[in-house]
Every structure is written in structure tokens, then in C-alpha cells.
Structure 1
Amino acid sequence: MAGSKTYYLTTPIYYVNDVPHIGHAYTTLACDVLARFMRLDGYDVKFLTGTDEHGQKVEKSAQAAGVDPQAFTDRVSQNFRDLVGVMDYSNDDFIRTTEPRHVASVQALWTRLVEAGDIYLGSYAGWYSVRDEAFYGTDELRDGPNGKKIAPTGAECEWVEEPSYFFRLSAWQDRLLAFYDANPDFILPPGKRNEVVAFVKGGLQDLSVSRTTFKWGIPVPGDDAHIMYVWLDALTNYITAVGYPQTEGGEFAKYWPADLHMVGKDILRFHAVYWPAFLMAAGLQPPKRVFAHGWWTIEGQKMSKSLGNVIAPETLVKTYGLDQTRYFLLREVPFGNDGDFSHAAMVRRINSELANDYGNLVQRVLSMIGKNCGAQVPQPGPFTEADEALLGRARALLGTLRAEIGVQAFHKALDAVWAVVGDANRYVDEQAPWALKKTDPARMATVLYVLAETIRHLAILTQPVMPAASSRILDQLALGPDARGFDRLGQGGALVPGTALPAPQGVFPRYVEEPKT
């Protein structure tokens, strides 16, 4: 695909101190849908995910488990790699920060920052949260029980004093603000952009970027007594994966700057302040966008191990189905907002929107074609105004979806798809092809053709969100792998009358509650 349009997107790399939960699944799902959409739209896509494996928290967790940190991270990283199969993600690479390619990349970036005069040796005294792997100012903390200091995230902080290398973040305040002004869509959604701008305008302190009190990390080049601050290490994964420090030719030249870093709102500051400053100081371009999405609660409560309400993605898939889970997570809440997972909401979406609206449309149209048109794509006659209106709405969907997906408004994209599903169902009721069978068979054939062609558009466009279900619908329309890209939408890829169709089968079963015993 030389010379083609490229698109590089990343998830945050997940911290290996826990098992994957619904929040991890959600972030990677959003990226997977975007990656699949762009591939179908003709882009050469690189989609990266992976695990963040260094830092004091990992070292402590490994000690508590009675294993060395590398063995600990090997085991926990595999849980995140397994999630790829559970959720049917289509990532092109999976990076681990313990890999040799990453160590070389981070040390090369450090050397560039030193050469630029943006790193100096000093000493650090201040509040540090092991859980967040983050430093906090006194003004950000509140008093907790037993004299503890508590970070805004709820994590306990401890006072740390040690020699440290510093990054001259304070020198980048004006340049960061100028960068935000010049790139208004660099941070989305807009409310999060406003938070970051306010934080930077409030003044930036130089950032401690090394530690000496533990050893599980990447050594500072030329000073093995120090290991690099885990966030400088972790953020660099995004350029490691495209071949840094090799910047001429190869994947770096092809894909960097990244089109999108998808992150949870709790790590926005690291991605939208520290990361562009590191990159610009090293003479590299910042990414084009950082999108901060919201958090999930479970049945109205915050997820927590103590409440026992943390839901594993495998449980969702086993209980409700894979495509149903993927659909619900991206349809239930405006992307960027916080959302609540509830069993009742999931069942409502499965039964109302997937089974009744979309599934029933496909099933009854294809069943009527099988029964009344010799199991072949019907031969249409002249199109009426109503026919043209429905086909027009189906053909216009791609433009709408490009615009919504382009700003990560996945919920609005699905709203637009379901508006056409609703239009098609109303068209069936208004045209009543079962009655036309007796009074005007030729008109019935035209109506069923229009509906089949509408379903073709819907199935092609829902592939990124529900790949398996969409594939089964396209199979039932006898469309091969080369007929499923967005370039086949519209009249150019229209169904060919007379094409034999297989016997239709239901795609979206209703969710039936197990009887309580």
C-alpha cells in the first residue's frame, strides 16, 4: 500500500499490577473500532496496544507475590494479550516496556533530551504516590486517616527525598500553550482540553524523571544508580513501536506523528502535557490528538475489588455475546463521558435494538426473498420516491460516519446507523411486500431489492463494531471478502439480481433470563 493514506492509533499501555477489567476492554475496543473503520475506508493502519511493566508499584507487587519482577510481568502481561482474543481486537502490534527494542528507544530519547539541555541533575523532595506513579504538589493533597496525605485520585502519598534528574518542564509552558492554540483539536473532548490548558496556565514545575530508591526500571544512560521515571519510560512506547530511534525511512517516517492516542481521563495530563513537551524537546513532532474517555461504574457503583463488582470482559462475552458486548459499550454512553454498566440496560439494548430492530429487519427481508424470489436477489423495477429516499439515506451513512468517527463520537455514529434501521423497518410496514405478493409481484421484488440493498449498506458499515455478526449478514447476501470495503458502498457495489442467496439464519438472538432456582 505504498503511498496510501496512513493512520496510527494507540491505546494506553496497561499497567501490569492487575487483571483486565471492563475499563481496559472499553479503551481498546474504541481503538479497534476506529482501526477497523479506517482499514475498510482504504487506510494503511497501525494499531498498537501493550503493557507498561516498570516502576515501584510493579516491584512491590512482585515482592508480595514472591516472584521476581520479570516473571511477574510475564504472567500479568499475558492476561492483556489474552484479552485481544476475548474481545476480537485487530491490533497490529503488542508492545511490552521490558522488551529490548523499548529499552534502546527510551535510552536514545533520554540522550536526545540531555543533548538538548532539557535534563539536569538535582535532588527531589516531595509527595509521591506509588499507586499512581505520580508526583503531587502539596496544594493538590488532602489529609487522610492516620496523618496520611491523599492524592486527588484517592491514592496515598509518601514523602520522598532522593537525588533525581529533572526535565525542564517549566521552560515549555508558553510553547505548550502556543501548541494548544495552533492545534485546537489536539485534546478531545473539549472539556478535557480546557482542563489541560488551565493546568498549564497555572504554571509548570520541572519534572523529576529518575528514581534511585528502587531498581525495577530502565537505567539512565551513563548513570546506573538512577532508573528512569516510569512515565518517561511508558510514554516512549508509542515511538518505540514505529522503530525509534530510527527516524529515516521505515515505520517512523511512515506513521509518526500518531493520529490518535486514546487514554482514560485519569492519565490525560501525562499524555497532553509531559509527552508533547518531551517530544518537542527531542525535536520530534507531538501526536495529532489525545482523546480522554470516561470511566465505567457498575450498577451505579464505582468498580472496586472490595465491593466485588469488577467485571471481567470474558464474563460479559460469555453472558451476553461478543458483538452484543462490543455494541453496548460504544452505544450506551456518549463517548468521552462516564458511563454505567447495568444488566438491565444491556438486555434492553440486545433485545430492543439488536434483536427487534436490526436482527428482525434482516431476518424478515431475507426470509421473504428466500420464500418469494426463488432465494435469489430480486430483479427491481423502476424506483419510486420512497425507494430512492431509503436508498439515499443508506448511501449517505458513510459520510456521516466518517465525520462522527473522525472525532471519536462512536455513539453518534451508531445513532445514525440505527436511524436508517428505523427508516427501513418503517418502509417495510408502509410497503407491505407480503400484500404486494398477491397484488403486484413486480413491485414486491423492487421493495425487497431496496431493502436488501439497504441491509448491505448497514452490514458493511457495522463491521467495525460487530465484525462477526456483520460478516454473517454479508454471507447471507452472498458477498465475498472483496465486496465488503467502503469502496463498494453506493451503486457501484450494488447487489446483482439473480445472485443465489443461502437460507437466512438469525444473527441476533434475544437475551432470555435464566429462571431463578
Structure 2
Amino acid sequence: MTCGALPQPTPHLGHLYTAVVADAIQRYEKLIDPNCNIIFSTGTDEHGTKIQQAAAKADIPLPDYCNNISNEYKKMFHNFNVDYTDFVRTTERRHKFAVKHFWKKLLKKGYIYKSKYSGWYSVNDESFVPEAHTKDEMINGEKVRVSLESGHKVEWTEEFNYMFRLSAMKTHLQEWLRTDGVITPSKYQKQLQELLENEGYLPDISVSRPSSRVHWAIQVPNDDEQSVYVWLDALVNYLTSIGYPDEDVMKSKGRPWPADVHVIGKDILKFHGIYWPAFLMAANWPPPRKLVVHGHWTVDGKLPWRLTLTTARRSW
């Protein structure tokens, strides 16, 4: 039982909603079986360019900035009685150990290789965006390139990175996405199926960044010049919560994997519905049994920077 690693900056109603939905699911399961052993994990994603920039703008040291944000999330969950069993911060030592172990496993199996990479990069989304998924748009009188998916500005970037062989996982992903009800509501499952059906959609993806550009990150094992891509880092938090890679700890938790359900917002569907199962399959781990995806909370049909309980409405 997990909800998506929570993004920065400070928490708003959309973050709370994700956790409340996950909490409602676990409370229902406990009503049916009071002896049910549930791991309900949430947490904060604390690495990457966005965090570097936000801390610099606030003129706060990075560790202090992350501590402050993490405490705000915990306070919010406490105030709304969200009864999680584990809160994973991606800056924790146990998580860094899990990420490096997972990386080495993918590398050993031949799914990670180093190559020069170029493409449109969105700082806000922390990801490269295929050119077919971008467009030109006028913003404040300036012509800029933006992502079709998020509307965020993208910039052309060329650099040497480690790549993940996502292209090798296309057939496996298609088979997983044919599982009835694996993603709910079903329209989100259909979206991913359509993406995979588009010829050429599934290129290999960059899973590292130059440490000179993204220094607030987990270092790639045996390569200090590269840092682990924030979304590979963040997604491994689900394994961190079950004690990975310590076999004894995982056994003590019963059958902790695959996760029965991930609860996420639709903005991170691609990362959880394409990247995450592909990473897991490459490491010979089963993907989660189900993704529960919710829409955005809006004010007057728009996505505000922050939301209040009294002015927001849910948009599927």
C-alpha cells in the first residue's frame, strides 16, 4: 500500500488527497480483516534540480530546506490523521543504499549503458521530452518550446548520460497493461496502451545527470561525475519501505512485494505506469498489482500553485 513519493515544494490539497485515498483503502482492508498486516508508505522526494533551485531561491542550505519541507508533510498528515506505517525520505541513508543496490542490479543485467544523449529537457518535470511531444508557444511575448503533456518549458540539452534500455521492455509492458483493472480508472490504462502502440514511442531513457549540473542527488556507483536520475531514485522508495535489499528484513514483513496498490496523481502516470514497471521487470521483480490514479484539484478550472480546502474541486 503506497502513495506516490510526494513532490516539492510545500504540501497542498492534492498531496493530501493522494494520502487520504491510500489511507481509506488500508482502513477498509483492516475492517474486513483486523489481522491484516499492511505496509502503508508515503514520503518526500528530495533530490534533483528543482530542489537545488528552490533552496537557493529561499537562501536556505539544502539539508535544512529538505528537513523543513518533510516536516510540513508529516505535520499535515498528522493533522488529518493519515495513518501511514512508513515515511521514506529519499535523502535517508537506507534509501541511498537501496538505490545504489538497484542500480548495480540493472547494470549487471545489461540494462544500463553510457552514451551521449540530446533532447528537450524540462526542469519542472525533471525529464527529457520526446520532440513529438513538444510544441512552440508564446509566453510573455517570447517564443518558447513547451511539453505537450505538462505545458512546462523545455530546453535543448546535450550531455553524456547513462541510459536505460526501456525499448527492450515494450512487449513486457504491453502484456502487463493488458491485465484487466491493473490501472484504474480504466481511461488511464487506455492512455498508456495507446502510447505503447505508437511506433517509436519507447526510446531508451536517460537515467543519470552530470553531477556538475545536478549535484543534489545520489551519486552513480563508481562514477562521481554522474548522479542518479531523480525519478529512478524516487521510485525505488517503494522498495526502501519493505527493507530492500536486506532479505532478512523483507522476510520479516511477510509478503511485502509486489505492492497491492500505488495511489498517484495523473501527472506522474508515465513514471509509475511505464518507467517503474520497466525498471522492476528488468531487475526480475514483478510490477505493482494495481495503480489507482486520481485527477487534479483545480480552482476555476485551473491548477493553482497552492490549494485550500474551501476553494478546490476535483477534476477527473
Q: TM-score, normalised by structure 2?
A: 0.92
The residue number in structure 2 matching 1:157 is 154
Structure 1 outlier segments of 4+, above 4 Å: none
What is the DSSP-based 3-state SS (H/G/I as helix, E as strand, rest coil) of the residue aligned with 1:301? Answer: coil
Provide, for residues 215-234 of structure 1, a one-character-per-residue CA deviation record: whole Å limited to 9, x for no partner: 11000001011000000000
Q: 1:279 and 2:269 equivalent?
A: no
Mapping of residues 429-468 of structure 1, within 5 Å: none
Aligned mate of 1:80, from 70, 73, 83:
73
The alpha-carbon distance between structure 1 residues 141 and 260, as it changes in their structure 2 partners (threshold 3 A), is same
Q: CA deviation at 1:65?
A: 1.3
What is the DSSP-based 3-state SS (H/G/I as helix, E as strand, rest coil) of the residue aligned with 2:41? Answer: strand
Provide, for residues 198-226 of structure 1, a one-character-per-residue CA deviation record: whole Å limited to 9, x for no partner: 11122310010000022110000010110
Mapping of residues 71-470 of structure 1, within 5 Å: 71-145=64-138, 146-152=142-148, 153-181=150-178, 183-202=179-198, 203-212=201-210, 213-247=213-247, 249-251=250-252, 254-298=255-299, 300-305=300-305, 310-313=306-309, 338=315
User: Quick one: distance in 1 between partners of 2:241 and 2:192?
Assistant: 26
User: Quick one: distance in 2 between partners of 1:230 and 1:211?
Assistant: 9
Provide, for residues 366-415 of structure 1, a one-character-per-residue CA deviation record: whole Å limited to 9, x for no partner: xxxxxxxxxxxxxxxxxxxxxxxxxxxxxxxxxxxxxxxxxxxxxxxxxx
The alpha-carbon distance between structure 1 residues 272 and 247, as it changes in their structure 2 partners (threshold 3 A), is farther
Letter in 1 for 2:207: V
The residue number in structure 1 matching 2:13 is 22
Q: CA deviation at 1:158?
A: 1.1
Provide, for residues 426-470 of structure 1, a one-character-per-residue CA deviation record: whole Å limited to 9, x for no partner: xxxxxxxxxxxxxxxxxxxxxxxxxxxxxxxxxxxxxxxxxxxxx
The total of aligned residue pairs comes to 305
User: Quick one: distance in 2 between partners of 1:246 and 1:312?
Assistant: 41
What is the DSSP-based 3-state SS (H/G/I as helix, E as strand, rest coil) of the residue aligned with 2:96? Answer: helix
Q: CA deviation at 1:124?
A: 1.3
Letter in 2 for 1:302: K
RMSD across aligned C-alpha pairs, in angstroms?
Answer: 1.7
Q: CA deviation at 1:252?
A: 5.9
- Which blocks of at least 5 consecutive residues in structure 1 are unaligned? 1-8, 320-328, 340-517
The alpha-carbon distance between structure 1 residues 251 and 215, as it changes in their structure 2 partners (threshold 3 A), is farther
User: Quick one: distance in 2 between partners of 1:169 and 1:303?
Assistant: 31
Give the share of equivalent positions with the same residue, in percent. 37
User: Quick one: distance in 2 between partners of 1:34 and 1:166?
Assistant: 36
Letter in 1 for 2:237: N
User: Quick one: distance in 1 between partners of 2:228 and 2:186?
Assistant: 32
Question: 8 Å contact 2:296–2:303 — kept in the other structure?
Answer: no
Q: CA deviation at 1:303?
A: 3.3
Report which of the two has the higher share of strand: 2
User: Quick one: distance in 2 between partners of 1:82 and 1:106?
Assistant: 27
Q: CA deviation at 1:251?
A: 5.0
* Structure of greater Rg: 1
